[in-house]
Structure 1
Amino acid sequence: MNFDIVKKIYNLLDDKKAKDIVVLKVNRITTVADYFIIATGTSSTHINALCDHVEKTLFDAHFTPKHKEGRAKGEWVLMDYQDFVVHIFNAEMRAYYNLERIWSDAEFITIV
């Protein structure tokens, strides 16, 4: 899996003002994906805008999610692209699920 696409997703989220973006390299501890990209949106409208931006840009680069869920409620959207999973939460749901704690054995990746 090309790490460049993970950096691209990070930058797409950052460009649209997502908060607290975290990239976890999980391939050594699970077969679910190689990377999780986690971010927080400020409202359901912001979360949906972040999802639209990521999904359209990746579609243009010939990536389509194999699974999506949570869009209707706008509290936590999951976009599963097989090698990487994008999680976009509102602040309350992110604190509740605390994926960074659950996946604390993962490698935290710094994107610059």
Structure 2
Amino acid sequence: MIVTYAQKERINLLTSKETVKLIIDALEDKKAENIQIIDISEVSSVADYFIITNGTNKSQVQALADNVGEKLDREGIHAKQVEGYSNANWILLDYTDIVIHVFDRESRGFYDLERIWRDGKLISADDFS
């Protein structure tokens, strides 16, 4: 029997859309505000989706990031990179095809990623139900 790299690394075979649904559920579990999903696959090779949300304070921002990480870890999906966790004004979770941006309210308004990535397709969270 040949063991593939995916089996060896226990990479889950969920589609990007199924993974986005798990992420949305994890964010909603911790009361994330204004979850936005942007399909950037047609305008960038960086990722397929950006998920942008915010919490009300540092503790909630960290809890949102933690919950996403825990839910995806249970599925065998691990972040390639996590940035900004200790400051918690903008935590970036890089899952290769999906990049999650968890902000505090002030930083989200300041960086305004939705405006920067407006060429992407805004998708409703309901589309992933």
Same-fold call, TM > 0.5? yes
Query: Which one of the candidate residues 56, 63, 68 is aligned to 1:54?
Result: 68
After TM superposition, which residue ranges in structure 1, 4 or more long, deviate above 2 angstroms?
none
Q: Is the 8 A contact 2:39 2:50 kept in 1?
A: yes
> Where does 1:10-29 land on structure 2 (aligned, <5 Å)?
10-29=24-43
Structure 2 partner of 1:107: 121
Offset, 1:11: 1.7
Structure 1 partner of 2:16: 2
Q: Is the 8 A contact 2:22 2:71 kept in 1?
A: no
Count of equivalent residues:
112
Offset, 1:86: 0.5
Q: Give the letter for the 2:121 counterpart.
A: E
Offset, 1:94: 0.3
> Where does 1:38-77 land on structure 2 (aligned, <5 Å)?
38-77=52-91
The 10-residue stretch of structure 1 (1-10 or 69-78) with the greater mean CA deviation from structure 2: 1-10
Query: Which one of the candidate residues 75, 84, 101 is aligned to 1:87?
Result: 101
Offset, 1:2: 2.9
Distance 2:101 2:19 in 1: 15
Structure 1: gaps spanning 5 or more residues: none
TM-score (norm. length: structure 2): 0.84
Offset, 1:83: 0.5
Offset, 1:87: 0.4
Offset, 1:8: 1.4
TM-score (norm. length: structure 1): 0.97
- Cα RMSD, aligned residues only: 0.8
Which of the pair has more CA radius of gyration?
A: 2
Offset, 1:10: 1.0
Identity of aligned residues (%): 39
Distance 1:28 1:91 in 2: 28
Distance 2:74 2:47 in 1: 22
